[in-house]
């Protein structure tokens, strides 16, 4: 077989991947409809009919709730805002702990800190990279108030055991489904299984409106608290809205505009088609890769469907003694687009290492109300830490790519395995 491009051989691919474009004529017409109406947002932060926004927002929420078979959908300006509103609606505050995965986008955990609560990191399952329910159970303390579960890369987390723990310990379960719209867990859509679930409409996600998010719930009280946090709760309550509890009823402006809602409505109609194509490409690639020794294709658990926000490949070091970093250098030299893992475990971020968040005294982690001692030391989540060594991921398993593009990925892996002797041996760990 040919030499690797990394060592001056021919490249497999010479053209960049085309843009991932999900919008078209429908979105253009929808935006024009809003512009012609002239009302770009109808929200008012007061106790009147505009507390719930304008016609596009209301229609989007209704359509989203119908598609995901939930009672309530609340549109916000990002999934990060949605997570913040969901943690807030849970009533979490200073002194409380929220159990979360360290292997997620930073916004998941910022939502916890934003409510003055303390993130407690539990380790991930080495096959799906989702929170391991046993690690969650070991992390529960008398201060635990919620579990924030992420469906990473588009594969549903183990919800059944999470719900069982939540029932036993009286905890709220929030799902971050930003990467998993339409993924199913035993027939139920990811994001609709816990008390609240959050979706993203950011431009990099399966469907998008530039920036946007949706929080779903079946609980009327939580829906109302989410709407209040979205839209100036304290002012709305002052102007006459009755609430059961003032806890966390501080409102912000997390509102989505009519323009984004109009685009999001078109995108929701395209979701199933976009997902099907993604899954078709991923299944094809899996078939192409799974016979290559040492290459581990994504796990799909029985009863689950995967929607492949990222396609993740892990390497068996016994068979392919290459670090993920070397692997990515070699693959990208061939013209592909791979990343080493996804993120470093979030507790290794400076804010956790220095325990400085709000103010200079370390709140909420070193708050006088906090009687626990969450650890952010290297080594607390060994599975998550190992991913940097053995996991490579890519976003290119999606339309407009074709089976021919998937064949190039297979060719690159075959070439790599064939040329493995070209790399200097990996140093044994000290
Ligand atoms: C993208 C993403 C978010 C944040 O979404 P935004 O809409 O960009 O705020 C949160 N969690 C996960 C897992 C994500 O992938």
DSSP string covering 172-238: EEEEE-TT-TT-EETTEETTSSSSEEEEE--TTSSS-SSS-EEEEES-HHHHHHHHHHHBTHHHHHH
Instruction: Render pLDDT for 40-54 as a digit per residue (tens, 0 to 9).
Output: 999 999 999 999 999
Ligand 1, atom 6, lies closest to the CA of 79
β-pairing, 118-121 with 97-100? Answer: parallel
* Number of the ligand 1 atom closest to the C-alpha atom of 211: 7
Could you tell me the distance, in angstroms and rounded to a whole number, from the CA of residue 82 to the centre of ligand 1?
9
Of 107, 124, 149, the one to substitute when testing ligand 1's pocket (max ligand atoms within 8 A of C-beta) is: 107
Ligand 1, atom 2, lies closest to the CA of 178
C-alpha 348: how far from its chain's center?
19
Counting every residue, how long is the chain? 430
pLDDT value for 424: 77
pLDDT value for 430: 53
Could you tell me the distance, in angstroms and rounded to a whole number, from the CA of residue 396 to the centre of ligand 1?
18
Mean residue pLDDT of the chain comes to 96
Find the residues whose C-beta lies inside 6 A of ligand 1: 78-80, 104-105, 107-108, 150, 176, 178-179, 200, 202, 213
Could you tell me the distance, in angstroms and rounded to a whole number, from the CA of residue 97 to the centre of ligand 1?
21
Of 110, 176, 190, 309, the one to substitute when testing ligand 1's pocket (max ligand atoms within 8 A of C-beta) is: 176
Question: Is 373 part of the annotated catalytic residue set?
Answer: no
pLDDT value for 425: 64
> Which is nearest to 305 in space by CA: 100, 128, 79, 164?
128
Ligand 1, atom 1, lies closest to the CA of 178
Cis peptide before 59 (omega within 30 of 0): no
| Residue 177 dihedral angles phi and psi, to the nearest 5° | -105, 25
Contacts 24+ apart (CB under 8 A), 25-32: 26/266, 26/269, 26/270, 27/262, 27/263, 27/266, 27/267, 30/262, 30/263, 30/265, 30/266, 31/259, 31/262, 31/263
Instruction: Render pLDDT for 199-237 as a digit per residue (tens, 0 to 9).
Output: 999 999 999 999 999 999 999 999 999 999 999 999 999
* Number of the ligand 1 atom closest to the C-alpha atom of 104: 13
For the CA atoms of the chain, what is the radius of gyration? 23
Spatial contact of 356 and 302, defined as CB atoms under 8 Å apart = no
d(CA 262, CA 199): 17
pTM above 0.85, yes or no: yes
**What DSSP character marks residue 253?**
B
pLDDT value for 396: 97
Could you tell me the distance, in angstroms and rounded to a whole number, from the CA of residue 252 to the centre of ligand 1?
19
Of the candidates 205, 269, 270, 366, the residue annotated as catalytic is 205
Residues in the chain with pLDDT < 50?
none
């Amino acid at each position: 077989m040919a030499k690797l491009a990394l060592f001056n051989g021919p490249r497999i691919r010479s053209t960049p991947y085309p843009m991932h474009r999900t919008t078209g004529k429908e979105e253009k017409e929808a935006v024009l409809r809003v512009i012609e109406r002239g009302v770009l947002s109808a929200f008012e932060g007061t106790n009147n009919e505009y507390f719930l926004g304008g016609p596009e927002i209301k229609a989007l929420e209704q359509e989203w709730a119908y598609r995901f078979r939930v009672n309530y959908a609340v549109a916000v300006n990002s999934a990060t805002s949605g997570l913040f509103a969901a943690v807030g609606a849970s009533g979490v505050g200073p002194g409380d702990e929220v159990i979360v995965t360290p292997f997620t986008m930073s916004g998941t955990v910022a939502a916890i800190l934003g409510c003055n609560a303390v993130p407690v990191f539990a380790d991930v399952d080495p096959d799906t990279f989702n929170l391991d329910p046993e690690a969650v159970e070991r992390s529960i303390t008398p201060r635990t108030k919620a579990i924030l579960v992420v469906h990473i890369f588009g594969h549903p987390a183990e919800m059944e055991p999470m719900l069982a723990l939540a029932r036993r310990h009286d905890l709220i379960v929030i799902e971050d489904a930003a990467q998993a719209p339409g993924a199913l867990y035993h027939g139920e859509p990811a994001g609709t299984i816990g008390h609240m679930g959050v979706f993203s409409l950011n431009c990099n996600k399966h469907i998008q409106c530039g920036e946007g998010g949706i929080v779903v719930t079946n609980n009327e009280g939580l829906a109302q608290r989410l709407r209040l946090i979205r839209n100036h709760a304290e002012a709305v309550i002052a102007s006459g809205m009755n609430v059961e509890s003032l806890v966390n009823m501080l409102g912000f402006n997390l509102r989505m505009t009519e323009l984004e809602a109009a685009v999001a409505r078109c995108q929701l109609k395209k979701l199933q088609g976009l997902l099907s194509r993604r899954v078709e490409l991923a299944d094809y690639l899996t078939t192409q890769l799974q016979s290559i020794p040492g290459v581990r294709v994504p796990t799909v658990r029985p009863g689950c469907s995967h929607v492949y926000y990222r396609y993740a490949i892990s390497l068996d070091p016994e068979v392919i003694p290459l670090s993920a970093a070397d692997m990515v250098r070699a693959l990208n030299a061939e013209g592909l687009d791979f990343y080493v893992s996804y993120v470093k475990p979030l507790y290794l971020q400076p804010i956790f290492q220095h325990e400085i968040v709000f103010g200079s005294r370390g709140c909420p982690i070193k708050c006088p109300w906090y009687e626990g001692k969450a650890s952010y030391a290297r080594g607390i989540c060994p599975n998550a830490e190992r991913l940097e060594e053995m996991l490579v991921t890519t976003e290119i398993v999606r339309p407009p790519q074709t089976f021919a593009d998937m064949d190039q990925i297979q060719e690159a892996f075959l070439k790599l395995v064939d040329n493995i002797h070209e790399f200097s041996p990996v140093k044994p760990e000290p």
